[in-house]
Structure 1
Amino acid sequence: MRRAYYAEVAGRYWKRPATEAEVDAGLRDDPADGLVPPTGQFVVGRLDGVPLSCGGIRVLDPVTAELTRVYVDPRARGTGGGAALLAALEDEARALGAERVRLDTRSDLVEARALYARNGYAEIPAYNSGPYAEHWFEKHLA
């Protein structure tokens, strides 16, 4: 799932398909080390038993968790899988003690931005200076 995620976001950024070597390099440069308890979690969503979505949550501070590597395969878009994935990631954030969830994303990832807005995330001022961050969102957890 992480390969599919990286291939899509890199391909969109470069406006061409990412090569296997580029995907390999991207995964090496962006390890998922922190996406395991007690600092985070990684979730894989399935549709009819087939893995078609994923996302990570990591602790930023005692009350804030961050969504990262959120991906819904094009075959699963429009099925409600994205909302279910966000709900599962928010549950994981609560289990890690978070009261709010933040994320950053790029302008070209329009489906992601729409998904976040539909699910209660509001745009906020920048909270980080990531090289690809162009939009920042936050949601307070109940």
Structure 2
Amino acid sequence: MTISTTRTTDPWSVAPAEVGSAAALALLRDYYLDVANRYYRLRLGRDGTPEEIESGLADAPSDDLAGPSGLFLLGRHDGAPQACAGLRVIGDRTVELTRVFVRPAVRGTGGGTRLLAAVDEAARTLGAERIVLDTRLDLVEARALYTRHGYREIPAYSSGPYAQIWYGKDLNGTAAEAG
């Protein structure tokens, strides 16, 4: 007799959450540590100092990822907060995707796919027809995730210090121009 241990239910769930909640703040801190330290390692050969991390967090608030100008999504893996994404309204029928993060321990388990499906649905609830984002060139895994899910390179729509490549997705299925 063979007993199957194959999981038949998805361990991931994604739902809106308060961006100021303890779970959201912990994920946003982990997100920032991940991308900041990657930046520091690549450019300076070291991790960021505690002062640099705290300064960066203070300079990049996420308060606008709450209604009515935005939305914050929290992804749970087996009930534990493990992923997040934020949307902010930036124009008529356009939202910007930001703060996309899956904790390293659960990467490769489908969390990014579940998160981006929830992003599409949430963007529609905000009245959006387009999603745009900017990212860094060194975040190759994130860029691959976006392109696998219908995002295509678009002209620059922002000029932030870490914006090196821009992507867009038309929620009707085609690449979106910024706007």
TM-score when normalising by structure 1? 0.95
Determine what percentage of the aligned residue pairs are the same residue. 58
Question: Which of 18, 24, 28 is residue 2 of structure 1 equivalent to?
Answer: 28
Instruction: Give how far 1:62 is off.
Output: 1.6
Aligned to 2:86: 56
> How far, CA to CA, are the matches of 2:90 and 2:105 in structure 1?
32
Instruction: Give how far 1:109 is off.
Output: 0.5
Question: Which of 46, 49, 54 is residue 24 of structure 1 equivalent to?
Answer: 54
Aligned to 2:96: 66
Considering only aligned residues, what root-mean-square deviation do their CA atoms show, in Å?
1.1
TM-score when normalising by structure 2? 0.76
Paired letter, 1:106: R
Runs (4+) of structure 1 moved beyond 6 Å? Answer: none
Instruction: Give how far 1:31 is off.
Output: 0.8
Unaligned runs of 5+ in 1: none
> How far, CA to CA, are the matches of 1:19 and 1:86 in structure 2?
32
> How far, CA to CA, are the matches of 1:23 and 1:51 in structure 2?
22
* Higher fraction of strand: 1
Aligned to 2:17: none
- Structure whose alpha-carbon radius of gyration is higher: 2
Aligned pair count reads 142
> How far, CA to CA, are the matches of 2:161 and 2:36 in structure 1?
13
> How far, CA to CA, are the matches of 1:36 and 1:132 in structure 2?
23
Aligned to 2:76: 46
- Counterparts of residues 38-117 of structure 1 (less than 5 Å): 38-117=68-147
